[in-house]
Structure formats: structure tokens, C-alpha cells
Amino acid sequence: MGATVTGIDAVDKNIKIASVHAASDPSTASIEYCCTTAEDLVKENKQFDAVISLEVIEHVADPLGFCESLSALTVPNGATVISTISRSMRAYATAIVAAEYILNWLPKGTHHWSKLITPEELVLILERASISVQEMAGFVYNPLRGEWSLSDDISVNYIAYGIKKVETPSVEPQSQV
């Protein structure tokens, strides 16, 4: 689609796997992969029209600090997209018990209940990080078709799309003489 794409991960092994995968398709071969973190890119004063963080926030120690980094990486009026798992009983049953312990889709212990974030909490965190959530949708897996689709159900896996707020300079009122 003509976009310049940079993929990052803090784990070098993941970057190497992604690079090999991308190189196998001419439409993704131009993706630049870097072993780094959002926080390190902020220190380099990098900014992007869109910042996408998929299935990461539930693994970070400081979700607000992480979202502030995502916001700093997003140009004013740019898009920020985050997907994660909700802290709900359905999510616990499907994303942790089923995916990790029954289906073995993920290594056991990948997700911790206490680190999961509800949609309402994510909206508040993003607002504090100067990102205004515009839309949310759920992800639903159909095991019969082996396909994922978007849904109105945000109680398990969900994705949020927000816009980086434009900071308006505060103007001190001028005193009358």
C-alpha cells in the first residue's frame, strides 16, 4: 500500500524470525526490523504517522508509561492502535486456560491475570497518554473455520484505535494595565 513500515521487538530472536518471514513475500520484503523498544525510539526522537502495538501491553511493567511512549512516537493527529486481552472471566477461560493449558497455542504462563487490562482501563490509560480512543472492536475465533474476525464483543481479545491529541499551548492571560 506504499507505507514505510518499521517493525520492532525487544527480543532479537523475534526480529530474526520476522525478517525471514517478511523476506519471503515481495510485498513485505521492505519492512525494516529493529531489535529495540518503544522507549528507546522515544529517546531517538522518532515519530510515526501510525503506531501499532499488538498483544504487548499485557506484558509490560508500566502500562501507562508504555502508552506514553506510544503517544510520544505518534505524530499529532496520528493513529495509535493497541490490541490486548481483557481481564474478564471469559478471557481467563479462553485466552489463558484454553490457549495456554489445553490447546498449547502459547507457552504456559505467557499471560498473567493481574496484568490483563479491561477496555475501560485502557481507555483511561490512553486518555492520560494524550490518545483519544475513537473505536474498539473484539476479536473472535471460529474454530470450525480456523479464522479470526472482528466483533462487537470486547470481553476477551480486543483492539482499540485512537488519535494522538494535538497539544495546544497554554496561553497566560495578559494583565490589564
Return the beta strands (E) in the chain as ranges: 6-9, 32-35, 48-54, 74-85, 131-142, 147-151, 157-164
How confident is the model over 110-162, as pLDDT tens digits?
999 999 999 999 999 999 999 999 999 999 888 899 899 999 999 999 999 99
Return the beta strands (E) in 29-128 as ranges: 32-35, 48-54, 74-85
Domains of the chain: 37-86+115-164 (3.40.50.150)
Q: Which residues of the chain have pLDDT under 50?
A: none
pLDDT at 74: 98
Q: Is the pTM of this model over 0.75?
A: yes
Query: Cα separation of 156 and 94, whole Å?
Result: 8
Q: Which long-range contacts (CB under 8 A, 24 or more apart) does 13-19 make?
A: none
pLDDT at 36: 97
Beta-bridge partners for 132 = 163
